[in-house]
Amino acid sequence: MREAVLPRLPDALPEGAALARVLARFEALAVAVSGGVDSLTLATFAHRHGVPLTVIHAVSPAVPAEATARVRALAAAEGWDLVVTGTGEFDDPRYRDNPVDRCYFCKTNLYDRIAGLTARPIASGANLDDLGDYRPGLTAAAERRVVHPMIEAGMTKADVRALARALGLPDIAELPAQPCLASRVETGIAIDAADLAFVETAERRLAALLGGGTLRCRITREGVVVELDEALMGEAPGVAALMTELCAGEARSFAGTRAYRRGAMFVRS
């Protein structure tokens, strides 16, 4: 066991001290980094506190290009040993069929690929808030003995954001929740790379139009639906005009706007 190194931060946050103690158990780690606040914060904190790391980022049609760019930029700034790899989930028909436990097959492919690249223990950026959701990916992680240092340290999403700010990563700290693009596809509709590319383009255009806030472009049986948080609902007419144009360009049907609901595409019988 390495000696615990407490955070060298302007404010030694309790959650940072707890995380340092958890990380002290490991001689080295392979951190799976998606490009979101959780995994980026974990990798930054662990690296700055002397944990030998391999940082692994997986690319696929389900990962937004801006997430990959964010990972590459932070890796260069922090001096990480970064490995970018494909996961191969699109070669798995169980994933492409998009059952309600699709994330299990995604994470199975991801963690198996990482295990083939390094013998180091695999760490995820999951936090306590993730335990309150339906997360079949956590089952795949448990089967492969993936560790969750932030959960062990008792950290919530708010704690992770506070730690990111203390690390001097304000832009990372304020990143909105951004699950993979496949989460925009209603359960039972096959995962298709062209659909995910459309979703990515639509959300990028909508973000530019609206200037912020939570939004999702959904692929449903009724057609393309845009979900907006309450603060953005007044912009629905402009959203509808843009989406009608984008859908017409790809012979898709725009089915309107509605209020944002987390996990809306998981349809369980």
pLDDT digits (tens, 9 = 90+) for 172-209: 999 988 889 999 999 999 999 999 999 999 999 999 99
Task: Please state, in angstroms and rounded to a whole number, the distance separating the CA atoms of residues 54 and 213.
Answer: 33
Task: Please state, in angstroms and rounded to a whole number, the distance separating the CA atoms of residues 45 and 4.
Answer: 13
Among the listed residues 1, 66, 5, 81, the one whose alpha carbon sits nearest the alpha carbon of residue 34:
66
Among the listed residues 250, 205, 261, 201, the one whose alpha carbon sits nearest the alpha carbon of residue 223:
250
Centroid of chain to Cα 37 = 8
CB 163 within 8 A of CB 155: yes
> Residues in the chain with pLDDT < 70?
1-12, 263-269
Residue 216, pLDDT score: 95
CB 13 within 8 A of CB 163: yes
Residue 1, pLDDT score: 45
Instruction: Please tell me the pTM assigned to this model.
Output: 0.90
Residue 177, pLDDT score: 83
Residue 71, pLDDT score: 98
Q: What is the pLDDT of residues 105-146, one digit of tens each?
A: 999 999 999 999 999 999 999 999 999 877 889 999 999 999
List the chain domain ranges: 14-173, 181-259
* Strands of the 53-59 sheet, one edge to the other: 82-86, 53-59, 29-32, 122-123
Centroid of chain to Cα 231 = 23
- CA–CA distance from 210 to each of 30, 85, 232 (Å)? 37, 33, 8
Pairing of strands 215-220, 223-228: antiparallel
Q: Which CATH architecture has domain 14-173?
A: 3-Layer(aba) Sandwich (3.40)
Residue 16, pLDDT score: 87
